[in-house]
Chains A and B, each alone.
Chain A
Amino acid sequence: MHYFNVLIVDDEEDFLETIIKRLNKRQVDASGALSGEKALELLKEKTFDVVILDIKMPGGMDGIEALAEIKKIQPLAEVILLTGHASVETSIEGMRLGAFDYLLKPIKLDDLLKKIAQAIEKKDVHDQKIRSAQIKKLLKYW
């Protein structure tokens, strides 16, 4: 698998810190943001392949709002939602807004890695399409 990077957004600092450490230990380039606003700032500076986003965050921007903004800034980033209370409705709404999938807390690292891998795969296929479209476009003019 080629290089990719991951942004994790969750208001729970203990979780954020630990999951980044564990991902890094597995050679995954992971960064963290403690709120939706901070995540958007980071996204404006740098591209991410996968964003892992907690749906329910107290205060400030909630997950669904953040999702809509993320898709505006980086439409190609795949978003995986995290939810603490199995609210299927919210998850469905998230998927409609372009999220790749969702996971129920507490999450197992293996499950998360699998989802990330699937997201990357999907993104790669997508990127491939874009690239070949661009090549066709170039060939046309050439």
Chain B
Amino acid sequence: MLTAWGLTKAYEGRTVVDQVGFELQPGTVTAFLGPNGAGKSTTLRMITGLTRPDRGQATIAGRPFTAWPNPSHVAGVLLDAAAVHPGRSGRGHLRMAATLSGVPGRRADEVLEMLGLADAATRKIGKYSLGMRQRLGIAHALLTNPPLLVLDEPINGLDPEGIRAVRTLLRGHAARGGTVLLSSHVLSEVDQTADRVLVIGNGRIVADGPLAGLTSSSRSLVRAKDMNRLAEALQRGGIAIQPAPDGFIAAHAPVEQVSTVAFAAGIPLLGLREEQMSLEDLFFRLTGGGRA
């Protein structure tokens, strides 16, 4: 659905996006993760034609976004929730977009209702909270019911209820065969939504795959009622251990090996799971500690 090849952009001699390439398949939600300044937004702007790449290209369903005569029907895009005129109403803003896209004006009311903004439809956007602006931006992206959604930090500023609603909405879009690309700098915002994660650091794609695969480590976190016996058993089994948060022991072995050792020692376990790295740890590992 979306293919990017070697997207590269430099500002004043500094390369902010370097040879970024990926391909998104229909029916998937892909998270584009990276710290602030890693090149996420620049990449999304190049995909949507707002910024001209120095090299490389991105196509949506075979054509660059700007080569489609009416691209809003190909991709719904939210790049900056603040990019709206504060003096206009939410409904007025969406009705203008509906006119421009060639969809009926009533569709504006439908998406406002869908995003929980019906009550604020006639209010000036300047009076909207950040979360409401985000929802308005998502409503704008959904206006034409396009197959691809490109959303830059869509969950930023939303309350827990809003986050859950947006997650459900995005998963639903993918379940109906749509494609979603959403960026974030916070792993927890996307870990329940994305099928796949693209990690960008210092302008380059540094990891690409399922989230669980990227954040898994070679360590297990284990907890038992008798932690001293557990520690002794693990060490006897040749497994190095370290204290871990929340009363766990971090064991340098896969969960199967830890389970076998504990079972053989007759120690009932209260918890055992593979250690997941935080996004910060992941970035640190993938980018060698360099932060953009």
Q: Are A and B co-members of a single complex?
A: no
